Amino acid sequence: MLLIPCPHCGERPELEFRYAGEAHIARPADPSSTSDQEWAEYLYFRSNPKGLHIERWRHVSGCARFFNCVRDTVSDKILKTYPAGQPKPDLAVVLKEAGQ
């Protein structure tokens, strides 16, 4: 079983977690002034990379908090997790820290 390092609880089994989609997607501050295209981009369009992906997870059967995670979509390896609210990390730095 995959062990996911929750930034609050430490390494815990993946069954305690729920995936919650790509991270750092800000809701437009003034939805009524966005174009249909911009709103569609916000709602539906995701980067879907092959490689490093920054995503939200929720430790629902643990501390129940949402947090962010950098995961390699090829190997499923998790390189970094950090509390929600922290800025988007520089992926080059994350790779270096993970020794890759």
Partner 1 sequence: MSDLKITRRSAFEGLHPIQVEGSVTVAPTPYATRFSFRGDAKAASACSKGFGVLLPNDLLKAESDQGRTAISLGPDEWLLIAPDGEVESLEAAIAKALGDQHQSLVDISHRNTAFTVSGLKAETLLASGCLLDLHISAFPVGMATRTIYSKADIILWRTAPDTFHVELWRSFVPFVWGLLEEAAHEV
Interface residue with Zn ion among 39, 42, 56, 62 (CB under 5 A) is 62
For position 62 contacting partner 1 by CB under 8 A, the verdict is yes
For position 9 contacting partner 1 by CB under 8 A, the verdict is yes
Q: Interior CA angle at 25 toward 23 and 29, to 5°?
A: 150
Query: Kind and range of the H or E element at 66?
Result: strand 66-72
Of the pair 18, 96, the CB lying nearest Zn ion is at: 18
Of the pair 13, 31, the CB lying nearest partner 1 is at: 13
Q: What's the closest the beta carbon of residue 83 comes to partner 1, in angstroms?
A: 8
Q: 35: helix, coil or strand?
A: coil
Contact positions vs partner 1 (CB under 8 A)? 1, 8-9, 12-13, 15-16, 61-65
